[in-house]
Amino acid sequence: MRSLYDWFAASARRHPDATALEVGGLALTYAELEAATGRLARLAEQALGRRPARVGLLASRSLACYAGYLGILRLGGTVVPLNPHTPVERNLWIAKAAELDLTVIDDSAADQAADYAAQAPAVLDLTAGRWQALLADDQPGTEVCAPAEFAYIVFTSGSTGQPKGVPLPHENVSTLLDSMIPQLRYAPGDRVSQTFEISFDGSIMEMFGAWGVGATLCVPEYGEVFTPVKFINAHRLTHWLSVPSIISFAKRLRALAPGSMPGLRVAVFAGEALTAPQVEAWQAAAPNATIINAYGPTELTVIVCAYPVPAQRPALPRTSNGTMPIGIPFGHLEWTLRDADWRPAPIGELCVRGPQRFGGYLDPAQNAGAFADLDDSSGQGYTGDGPLTGRHWYRTGDRVGLEDGNLVHLGRLDDQVKVRGFRVELGEIESVLRRHPDVTEVVVLPVTAADGGTDLHALYTGGEVPADEFALLLRELPSYMLPRRYHYRAALPLSTVGKVDRRRLAAELADGHGGG
């Protein structure tokens, strides 16, 4: 088994003098970063009095963050990333659910550091300059230990309100890297962005894609993520990875001028729908870059589809909802689309199995309903009884259609709502509204009406559109699918991972603050 740490260590042997990491004004070679990981591993052992098994990482965009990630793996431990931008109560809940032995904390944890440390079982405190011990030559390191079963555990939002722990084995991640590194054309000497927080699994492809070949990981400050042109040019990036919302954000700031990123070679967008206007804006700004639209749930190890977008505007695919296709799942995976009666269908829920499928949630009770045995003619969902096996398919919960030989993401099944007794797919309404030339982004959300029923509200960015123009555009839809109100917004709020924050928008609508 090739461990996640092996990917970094092999590059450190082959390219010891190449720059591995640029973060916070520091630039470390592979040899220097490897030494720092050994020192952090030693400090972690000393802080706990033994080798830790599961270690939390409450740090962001700092040397301690990246040396911590590698150092935990070097010890043979499992990394549990924590997000300093979420409430401390959530991180403490995760620490308990994951049964953390230790948590690495530095100043990037900000106001959370003291509150978390006071309630966590044990911490390695690298705040107030203590992280500089990672660079001290007189601090010894540790040997590389045999890996645990799981490389990392990421916690995702759960429908019950409690986060779901997703443990990913080393084999799964190695399968991903073997597949994606050639597709993204990573090579020694490349310079790769690191825009995702480490608590978002997209960061794996940035960190270990770069470190797996001897490239440089270039880490922007949080605010710099939203000014991609400035960061890409200042750091001479060859590869950029982010959510598509960053394109719209930069475009609103008029910071995406044509030809402004001539040196960029590859841009990967994932995490939400990539639209044709976003592609056109990015292609104009980065004329020499290949755009790849990637898709994959956390449970399937980051990415399972990668669609190279045609470079010429006339060749851009026209899909039913105006978004770019996500491609076809990798050849080493099995996939199927199933309708509500579990029958194969051209449009349905995407189900996947194979070597990137995880083996079940940290809390086994959350496995019920997440898997299906489609080899059984009844398509019986997994109820939690009996072991999960390789025959079980992971149910993505994504509504996907096959169009012109590629899959198109049509929305979440849980985006389906009941309006006056009718079932409505919110993504279907969004796709129609997105056809208006003045609309850049659009979100349709259900709102409880005064009579207790459900009304639909649409929030959009771009240029203000008269309501009668929307009505003309939506004339093909039945009346119960028409939004009751349209809210123009200069910008849609983003979550801590850069996606459109639908929960915040829903809360604002519920409070009567939809805007516009």
Helix ranges (DSSP H) in 343-453: 426-433
Consecutive H or E run containing 206: helix 202-211
Q: What is the pLDDT of residue 421?
A: 57
Strand partners, 456: 446
Residue with tokens 């290949």: 290
**Distance between first and last Cα of the chain:** 56
What is the rounded CA–CA span in Å between residue 150 and residue 93? Answer: 20
Q: Round to whole Å and give the CA distance between 205 and 174.
A: 11
The span from the CA of 315 to the CA of 88, in Å, is 48
Tokens of 89: 């109560």
As a whole number of angstroms, the distance between CA 56 and CA 82 comes to 6
d(CA 438, CA 25): 41
pLDDT of res. 423 = 59
Q: Which residues, listed in sequence order, are joined to residue 19 by a DSSP beta bridge?
A: 29
pLDDT, position 432: 87
Chain-centroid distance of CA 90 in Å reads: 19
Beta bridge partners of 291: 267
Strand 406-412 and strand 371-372: the pairing is: unpaired
Q: Shortest CA distance to 112 belongs to which of 58, 35, 183? A: 58
Q: Which of 106, 2, 28 is nearest to 61 (CA)?
A: 106
Enter the DSSP assignment of 28.
Answer: E
Beta strand extents in 41-94 (DSSP E only): 54-58, 78-82
99: its two tokens: 């049964």
Radius of gyration of the chain (CA): 23
Q: Which two structure tokens, joined as six digits, stand for 376?
A: 């059984």
The whole-angstrom separation of Cα 497 and Cα 484 is 30
Q: Which token pair is 350? A: 């995407």
For the chain, how many helices (H) and strands (E)? 13, 24
pLDDT of residue 21: 98
Per-block average pLDDT, block size 10, for the chain (516 residues)? 95 98 98 97 96 97 98 98 89 95 95 92 96 91 94 78 88 98 98 95 97 98 93 98 89 92 97 90 97 96 98 88 95 95 93 97 92 72 78 94 96 74 75 90 86 82 92 80 92 81 88 62
Domains and CATH numbers, the chain: 1-167 (3.40.50.980), 334-411 (2.30.38.10), 420-510 (3.30.300.30)
How many residues belong to the chain?
516
- Please report the pLDDT score of residue 333 as a whole number: 98
The pLDDT value given to residue 141: 85
Q: How many CB atoms lie within 10 A of CB 30?
A: 23
Residues sharing a CB contact under 8 Å with residue 452, sequence separation 6 or more, in sequence order: none
pLDDT given at position 460: 95
Q: Give pLDDT, residue 453.
A: 66
pLDDT at 99: 97
Specify the pLDDT at position 160.
47
Q: Are the beta carbons of 246 and 220 closer than 8 angstroms? A: no
Give the up-direction half-sphere exposure of residue 226: CA atoms within 13 A in the CB hemisphere. Answer: 13
